[in-house]
């Protein structure tokens, strides 16, 4: 239960609307009980008044009738207002919670998120956070409203019979205290299983959709669909178990309410207060007891789902409470702490591995002087992309140091470091937005703020022409064209070119290229590399590749094998002296 406190503290930001929702919920309960009890008394009193002409003429029909109408209309309006207020408060809380989670996630590095699949992260941001709406909507509000209503009910009934009021409200209070614990125990296993099975099904479904091409290519669709079916059956099973718990909880509440009704009927039959026999007040007491079922019913659903809330809260906190594995220096533009100016890069005796005892880089040292173009070649898995991850501080080396402009890379603030380099990675991520939005991310000084982007439209279109995407600029308002999530409206080559266009828009002194022309044909590859080399004429460039296109234009080439630099030189010297480079050149030529 202590896992829920960090989320309960977020409620104070919305305390006004939360209080309004609870008050409306309380008035709804009071109006419901008042409507049923007043109706019962009114019908009984009318029947008694009709026994003689004198009592009929003396009976006031109008005031109770007006009270019935008041409670009826008031209950309808308050129920509507309560739904608006509580759901508005819940949506605001979930919005605030998602912002809070994102603020905790952003400082985390790849090391913190290692082993966490994208489907699990998506489930955490959506399903786990949504599960926490039970805390306010189905737990706190109904519980507080029912407790306050019980106290108010005692004060009302004590005017007629204090002993009877104590019996009824004591029974309701005992149910308020004991039944939640029972319902929590009953729903604990089913609630946890439902959350786990829902997460497992979402992760498998996302992997199935994202890997559809590979699954079809290797004929693995059948096996994966069988796993999906098994996960779906498990979810249905846990939901069925939860439905049984909910049904049992509702049955117990009906049983408690029925027992209270029989007890009140037995005690009130002999007399209420000083009224012997009780007369119409008996109908009031009986129907008041029946109406109490409304304020007890939410308790079953709230506490049977509480275990799911606790589990979701624990999963969120397990991720958000982590200490960032990589810490950046404080951002400042004074004291030499701004972005790099020359792009000089030095890696000294780097040791790195993703898991203990499994080294990826062993004693690697590398120098890039300002304005030089250096290529790093090697087979898949030799550590090329890991090296770029260390330079961009997605990971931290276990030993050794990296210096940028003769300063330790740890001395840079995150903003300054990002301004010091441009990275074209193997995966180009495009957001679900317009072409302008996806290009504007790279504009200097914007960092995602697109308020001034339209003033740069001419520059954006010029860069698109440079990278051979002039065809996207046809038609009216081409930069407003929606490219879809992940750039689904574009081909793989077009997505790759947009990644290159982003690099051309960012004037950083260090340019890092990780297979920038992967998936492009030879002619297009030469054109893109020529464009990048022209752009990086006065910049420091590090190219990672497994192809030899444009290697003759590189100042230095390093061959990386098993985490170490096996050979270095330019294209001519390696072609003349290195057997591996010769075989690679013959095979790729």
By DSSP bridging, strand 345-355 and strand 358-368 are antiparallel
At 9-28, the pLDDT tens digits run 777 777 788 888 888 888 99
By DSSP bridging, strand 373-377 and strand 556-561 are parallel
Report the candidate in 317, 297, 298 with the shortest Cα–Cα distance to residue 309.
Answer: 317
Q: Which two tokens stand for residue 503?
A: 């690099």
At 357-409, the pLDDT tens digits run 788 998 899 999 999 999 998 887 788 888 998 999 989 999 999 999 999 99
Q: Cα(269)–Cα(139) distance, rounded to whole angstroms? A: 36
Chain position carrying tokens 């002409």: 53
Average pLDDT over residues 108-136: 78
Q: CATH fold of 2-320, please?
A: ABC transporter transmembrane region fold (1.20.1560)
Contacts of 488 (CB under 8 A, 6+ apart): none
Q: Cα(489)–Cα(269) distance, rounded to whole angstroms? A: 76
Q: Do 99 and 313 touch, CB atoms closer than 8 A?
A: no
Q: Do 389 and 420 touch, CB atoms closer than 8 A?
A: no
pLDDT(481) > 50 = yes
Q: What pLDDT is stored for residue 369 in this prediction?
A: 92
Q: What pLDDT is stored for residue 450 in this prediction?
A: 47
pTM of the model: 0.72
Q: Cα(453)–Cα(58) distance, rounded to whole angstroms? A: 80
Stretch(es) of the chain classified as CATH 3.40.50.300: 345-588
* Percent of the chain's residues with pLDDT above 70: 94
Confidence band of 455 (pLDDT split at 50, 70, 90): low
Q: Cα(125)–Cα(131) distance, rounded to whole angstroms? A: 10
- 320 or 8: whose pLDDT is higher? 320
At 245-254, the pLDDT tens digits run 888 888 888 8
Report the candidate in 138, 142, 133 with the shortest Cα–Cα distance to residue 96.
Answer: 133
Q: What pLDDT is stored for residue 227 in this prediction?
A: 93
- 281 or 70: whose pLDDT is higher? 70
Q: Cα(243)–Cα(264) distance, rounded to whole angstroms? A: 31
3-state secondary structure at position 183 = helix
Average pLDDT over residues 572-585: 87
CATH superfamily of 345-588: P-loop containing nucleotide triphosphate hydrolases (3.40.50.300)
pLDDT(582) > 60 = yes
Stretch(es) of the chain classified as CATH 1.20.1560.10: 2-320
At 289-344, the pLDDT tens digits run 888 888 888 777 667 777 778 888 888 888 888 888 888 888 664 444 688 899 99
Picking from 344-348, 426-430, 463-467, which range would have the lowest pLDDT averaged per residue? Answer: 426-430
Q: Cα(438)–Cα(482) distance, rounded to whole angstroms? A: 10
pLDDT(453) > 60 = no
At 139-148, the pLDDT tens digits run 778 888 888 9
């Amino acid at each position: 239960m202590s896992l829920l406190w960090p989320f309960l503290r977020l409620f104070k930001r919305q305390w006004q609307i939360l209080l309004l929702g609870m008050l409306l919920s309380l008035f709804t309960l009071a109006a419901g009980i008042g409507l049923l009890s007043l109706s019962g008394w009114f019908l009984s009193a009318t029947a008694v008044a009709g026994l003689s002409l004198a009592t009929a003429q003396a009976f006031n029909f109008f005031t109770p009738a007006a009270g019935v109408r008041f409670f009826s209309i008031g209950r309808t309006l308050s129920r509507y207002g309560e739904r608006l207020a509580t759901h508005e408060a819940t949506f605001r809380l979930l919005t605030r919670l998602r912002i809070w989670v994102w603020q905790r996630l952003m400082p985390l590095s790849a090391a913190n998120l290692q082993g966490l699949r994208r489907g699990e992260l998506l489930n955490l941001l959506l399903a786990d956070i949504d599960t926490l709406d039970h805390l306010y909507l189905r737990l706190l509000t109904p519980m507080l409203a029912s407790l306050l209503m019980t106290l108010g009910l005692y004060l009302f009934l004590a005017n007629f019979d204090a002993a009877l009021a104590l019996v009824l409200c004591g029974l309701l209070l005992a149910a308020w205290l004991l039944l939640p614990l029972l319902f929590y125990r009953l729903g604990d296993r089913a609630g946890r299983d439902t959350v786990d099975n829902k997460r497992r099904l979402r992760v498998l479904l996302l992997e199935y959709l994202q890997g559809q091409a590979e699954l079809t290519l290797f004929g693995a669709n059948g096996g994966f669909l069988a796993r999906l079916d098994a996960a779906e059956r498990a979810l249905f099973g846990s939901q069925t178990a939860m439905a049984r718990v909910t049904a049992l909880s509702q049955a117990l509440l009906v049983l408690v309410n029925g027992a209270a009704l029989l007890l009140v009927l037995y005690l009130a039959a002999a007399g209420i207060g000083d009224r012997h026999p009780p007369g119409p007040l008996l109908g009031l007491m009986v129907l008041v007891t029946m109406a109490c079922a409304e304020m007890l019913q939410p308790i079953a659903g709230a506490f049977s789902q509480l275990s799911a809330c606790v589990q979701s809260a624990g999963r969120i906190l397990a991720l958000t409470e982590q200490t960032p594995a990589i810490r950046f220096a404080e951002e400042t533009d004074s004291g030499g702490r701004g972005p790099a100016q020359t792009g000089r890069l030095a890696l000294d005796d780097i040791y790195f591995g993703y898991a203990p005892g499994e080294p990826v880089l062993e004693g690697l040292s590398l120098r890039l002087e300002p304005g030089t173009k250096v290529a790093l070649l090697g087979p898949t898995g030799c550590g090329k992309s890991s090296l770029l991850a260390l330079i961009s501080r997605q990971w931290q080396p276990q030993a050794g140091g990296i210096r940028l402009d003769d300063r330790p890379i740890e001395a840079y603030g995150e903003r300054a470091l990002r301004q010091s380099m441009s990275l074209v990675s193997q995966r180009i991520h495009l957001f679900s937005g317009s072409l302008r939005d996806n290009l504007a991310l790279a504009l200097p000084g914007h960092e995602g703020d697109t308020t001034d982007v339209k003033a740069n439209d001419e520059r954006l279109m010029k860069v698109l022409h440079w990278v051979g995407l002039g065809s996207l600029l046809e038609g009216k308002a081409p930069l407003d064209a929606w490219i879809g999530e992940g750039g689904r409206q574009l081909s793989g080559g077009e997505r790759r070119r947009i990644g290159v266009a982003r690099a051309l828009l960012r004037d950083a002194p260090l340019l890092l290229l990780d297979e920038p022309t992967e998936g492009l044909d030879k002619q297009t590859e030469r054109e893109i590399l020529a464009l990048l080399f022209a752009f990086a004429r006065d910049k420091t460039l590090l190219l990672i590749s497994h192809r030899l296109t444009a290697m003759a234009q590189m100042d230095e080439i390093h061959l990386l094998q098993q985490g170490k630099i096996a050979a270095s030189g330019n294209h001519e010297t390696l072609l003349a002296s290195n057997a591996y480079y010769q075989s690679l050149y013959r095979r790729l030529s």
